[in-house]
Structure 1
Amino acid sequence: MGWRFRVSCPRAWPPGRTLTSSDTTTLGNCTGTPRGRYGCRGTRRSGRKGPPRRHPDWFRSFAKAEAEAVALHYYEVQAVPGLLQTRAYAQSLFEHSRPMLNEETIDKRVADRISRQVLFDRWPIPTISFVLEAAVLLRPFGGPKVHREQLLRILEVAQRRTVELQILPQEGTEHPYLGGPFTLLTPKGRREVAYTEIYGHARLITDPEEVRHYSERYGILRSQALTKQESLDWIEKRLGER
């Protein structure tokens, strides 16, 4: 059963609906208020004046839902999750992305990404966990200095009692899911959903059976990963090698 929307949105969100920048109904504009019942307000019409919006169109919906969620679980295989990135690391990613972005866009996207990290200071803080493939932390985006700063930032966040972070070592001989990164998100008063994105295309998965598959995968990934303390030790060891 999908979420219900108001205004110009369809009555129910189709399970597995793909979100793109051309969509007028995206997750990020969902309010979660009793009146809105996760009502989707739609995106701003072209030519209409108003304050500049944060984040690219295809990501804006998720950023809003992320800020209001009661539980967030991230599995990452490519780069450090945005919530953990340093400014220099994020800058490097955007500077080298293709097609190339202009300086104004880079500066804005870096600032928007860093602004999401206020989530860690929210109280009550949502349940937050990360499972990171070891390769994510071994890849020195931005060079040695930026890489070291990024590892220190991850170490600092992971040491908080409100955050669970685990590393999936490369030595593993089995793996439950090779389909790419994903996020499990629980909106307040709603059932858990799954979120994936690739090449600027976002997909919100609300079908209970498909979400269950992602939840099972995440559970197995956590069981195969290092414990929180082992993960902290792993990062400290890499810092000592640099």
Structure 2
Amino acid sequence: MNLTPVLMNSLPEGYTALVAGASGAIGQAFVRQLRADPRCGRIIELSRQSTPPLLLDDEASLADCARMLAAQSPLHLVIDATGALSIDGQGPEKRLEELQAARLQRAMTINAIGPALLLRHLHPLLATGERVIWAKLSARVGSIEDNRKGGWYGYRASKAALNMLLQTAAIEVARRRPLAVVAALQPGTVRSRLSAPFVGDAAMEPDAAACGLLAALDRLEASGRAHFIDYSGEHIPW
């Protein structure tokens, strides 16, 4: 797919970008698009296969990643593309009868707690005195107001919890970094191995989603609050 590269003009020339979850379909797409931006000076990739590995259910690994990254800071753009729809090989619960404590706890760990702890360990590495962006993949189904169909209990609840954690963190981060932008992202239905069982071929190419999200992030203003947007830049109700 031939897409016009997105230039992150709101960030400093030679900015440093970090993509967490860089081995996934949309994480790889973000890496490709950032490599095409001549203004990007460095791209750091973290995943379960990186050294050290990024393991959302192991806080020690997150601390190791932060220590490794200290020498490559400050960071100007962090995109956390981690997350899971299926938990331990099982798809989202559609009925109350399918709820299990262990699966719910696992969804919270992967989709909310782990990303929040990653933010805890990495936010000191964000640049000060200049614009920075922390963007985390969320999901429209995490919107409490927008929930009209029900189902997908663990995934919805974990994404809603993630959104609250991001909103709360945005308020704190802005106290020391008033130019910081924190955003929860809805990438749309993206074609990937993980989404295939649920959407088939009716999905967007990962690079199209990444381009849309980067362009939307570049336009966002620092407000001391988190944003919840989709790939076209439209705001989603919390």
TM-score by shorter chain over 0.5: no
TM-score between the two structures when normalised by the length of structure 1:
0.34
| TM norm structure 2 | 0.34
Larger Cα-atom Rg:
1
